[in-house]
Copies of this chain bind each other. A is one copy, B any other.
Amino acid sequence: MISKNKFILLVSFCLTFNIAFTQKTLDRISVKGNSFINEKNDTIVFRGYNTSDPDKLEKQNQWKKSYFKEIKKWGGNIVRFPVHPSAWTERGKENYLSLLDDGIKWATELQMHVIIDWHSIGNLKTQMYHHDRYDTTLKQTFDFWRTIAVKYGKNKTVAFYELFNEPTMYNNTLGTISWLEWKEMNEEMITIIRANGGEGIPLVAGFNWAYDLTPVKENPINATGIGYVSHPYPQKREQPWEDKWTEDWGFVKQKYPVILTEIGFSHTEDEGSHQPVINDDDTYGDAITNYCDEKEISYVIWVFDAQWAPKLFEDFETYTPSRHGKYFKKKINSYNYNKK
């Protein structure tokens, strides 16, 4: 039997503990030249992990602090939340925001920054998408970013707003859109975010499923304080990769900050393995991480889940690392500057 007094003591201990934790806010991350910096002007290179959709995790009872503690054990200083438009629509704005509230609180307590990612794949102009779960409209996309900016604009944990996960015409099967049209849509989103008080960093992706940033050379986004994104999965290009990466997206780092918000790999025989993530000779891990280390490019591994592919662990009970889980858990834990 727990006496009333002891119970009260326990509760007040927890409250104190919680308050202490939540007060430890993170630094506001900003852009200086081609780098992300903290409030002390230190350059910060991010390494971390993608959660699966918070909606998916919540339905499995896995959207909880222990999941974030596990990510922390894997060495990350950042987590990316891929918000699927269909989940946002189905769960409803208010209910989905309460999932984000929890995730942002846990990330703050564990001292990891957050990327909120509007996880659509396709063509916002023609409104054709790779699958119904990515279905959205320009109106909903604008409204999403207004909502996020109003709600989390001053929250320093929420370092990044990734405007649209993977723009693609998919060889014109999703219709066409020009870079200038895409650029204008992104600029409008950035204007909306900032007008609504969003103090985080907008992240802009290029076509070919967020792989190709070549148009940035001639027509960069007309906004300061932003970063660019690429998703250079193994099969986007033939080996050797390095010169092609530089040509396709790495060159951007000469002038702007770059973050690879999705990288990862699997073997052909692995569950859910699919183009373009296959790398059977295990050369991709070292290639991409060395490339990023050398150029101080940030990266985030896809995906901290036991079902989505390439999965980083085998099950939610033991979090036993999968093939690429073993690689990245070791690699990301090897960085000194990520240790708090």
Question: CB within 8 Å of B: which residues of A?
Answer: 126-128, 137-139, 142-143, 146, 171-176, 188, 191-192, 194-196
A-B contact pairs, 24 of them (CB 8 A): A126-B138, A126-B139, A126-B142, A126-B188, A126-B192, A127-B138, A127-B139, A128-B139, A128-B142, A128-B143, A128-B146, A128-B192, A137-B139, A146-B173, A171-B195, A172-B191, A172-B192, A172-B194, A172-B195, A173-B196, A174-B192, A175-B191, A175-B192, A176-B188
- A138 vs B127: C-alpha distance when bound (angstroms): 9
A138, A142, A143, A173, most chain B CB atoms within 10 A: A173
B-chain residues with CB within 8 Å of residue A142 when the two chains form the complex: 126-128, 175
Distance in Å from the Cβ of A320 to the closest Cβ of chain B? 40
A37 to chain B, nearest CB (A): 26
Contacting residues, chain B, for A176 (C-beta < 8 A): 188, 191
A176 to chain B, nearest CB (A): 6
Write out the residue numbers on chain B whose beta carbons fall within 8 Å of the beta carbon of A192.
126, 128, 172-175
Q: How far is the CA of A3 from the CA of B191 in the complex (A)?
A: 73
Least Cβ–Cβ distance between A136 and chain B, in angstroms: 11
Residues of chain B contacted by A194 (CB below 8 angstroms):
172
Separation in Å of the A129 CB from the closest CB of chain B? 10
CA distance A139 to B138 in the complex (A): 12
Question: In the complex, which residues of chain B have a beta carbon less than 8 angstroms from the beta carbon of A172?
Answer: 191-192, 194-195
Q: Which residues of B contact A146 (CB under 8 A)?
A: 128, 173-174
Closest chain B residue to A189, Cβ basis: B175
> In the complex, how many angstroms separate the beta carbon of A1 from the nearest chain B beta carbon?
51
- Output the least CB separation between A135 and chain B (Å): 9
Residues of B within 8 A of A188 (CB): 126, 175-176
Once bound together, how far apart are the Cα atoms of A124 and B176, in whole Å? 18
**Docked CA distance A188–B173 (Å):** 10
Distance between Cα atoms of A85 and B192 in the complex (Å): 23
Q: How far is the CA of A192 from the CA of B126 in the complex (A)?
A: 10
For the complex, what is the distance from the CA of A176 to the CA of B192, rounded to whole Å? 8
Distance from A297 Cβ to chain B, minimum over Cβ atoms (Å): 31
CB distance from A337 to the nearest CB of B (A): 37
Note all chain B residues with C-beta closer than 8 A to A126.
138-139, 142, 188, 192
